[in-house]
Amino acid sequence: MDAEYTIDECVQLLASYLTNPWQRQRAPKGFDEALTTARSESTSTARVFLDAGFHAWLAYFLATEHEGRHHKGQSAKRKAITALQQFPIERQNQVAMALANVDAHPTVQSAIEDLRHPKRRRLTDATMSVTSTTLTQTASPPMADIHEPATPTITEPTVYNPEHRYTPIGMWKALSSASIEASNQEQTLTGAKINGLVSVFPQWIVRAIRKGHGVGVTMVFPANLPTGRVQCLMSLAISPDKVQRLASVLFDIHLEIEDGFRFVVHNNTVRISPRPEIYLQGAAEKAIIECLGRILSNYLILETKEEKLREPL
């Protein structure tokens, strides 16, 4: 691996494709094919960037688009891309999440909107072909629809019901109270995006919320809402290497692993073995804020206080 390339250097290289003005007149060559391939893969570098968000994947795609060319500067770029592709997935995630937070140049942002919406992209291409000095009589075949894939993937939130019918949605608010009330069964929301997590959770916990190569966030909405309020049960899947820190911050306990078994160490002497599991409850407000961030913590703390007020005296 090219060890001389750091995470910051890779971020700087790829970010330039987002911060510099967009000079292209059409969609980059091979764009649709590359996006389709990234969506179909589960462990590739391209998929890591796609899971982080469209901005991150586009920067990676543009950086690798002409890597086979040999003009000035291409050799250094190829080495940096090779180093990035050989990074462990944790380091690739760090690069991808950093790119997801880059403020794109206005021209790049406009191009991204066109690329994400094929109808707008086809309209732009058609207008350009009319004003071009070289006209063709046969229209180009329509580009593949990249906005609504036939099968939802981890990059799009999805609603699941027990009948195994999946419905892609664009935003969390699409799951309105009306749609919940219309269903007699609970609904489970999965497929959160990494750039969405970054806007809600602290950076260190974002890297911990993992399920396989995806994001380990699940929101379960009950079928019946007796209080008239939208309620849900959110669960987070935490990667094994982050469990110790999370338990320490939230509950001030120490975990140990011996012979493949995890133990809860109490008062540095007593070891409790979960059989088959153990539930910990009662984290302090300060610890909740440190782990979950201010947005979710405010809701949790407020809801806890309201529940206490609703309890009978």
Digit-coded pLDDT (tens) for 65-119 = 855 444 455 677 888 888 899 998 888 888 888 888 788 888 888 888 888 765 5
Q: Which residues sit opposite 47 in a β-bridge?
A: none
Using the 8-state DSSP alphabet, how is residue 189 labeled?
E
Residues 19-33 have a mean pLDDT of 89
Q: Kindly report, residue by residue over 106-156, the tens digit of the pLDDT.
A: 888 888 888 876 554 543 443 333 333 232 333 333 333 333 333 333 333
Residue 230 falls in which region: left (phi positive, over 0), alpha (psi -120 to 50) or beta: beta
More confident position, 205 or 22: 22
Secondary structure element (H or E) that encloses residue 84, with its range: helix 74-85
Angstrom distance (rounded) from CA 117 to CA 39: 16
How far from the centroid of its chain's Cα atoms is residue 204's Cα? 14
**Range 63-98 burial, b when 16+ CB lie within 10 A, else e:** bbeeeeeeeeeeeebbebbebbeebeeebbbbbbbb
Q: What is the pLDDT of residue 217?
A: 86
Q: Quick one: angle between helices 31-40 and 54-65, nearest 10?
A: 120
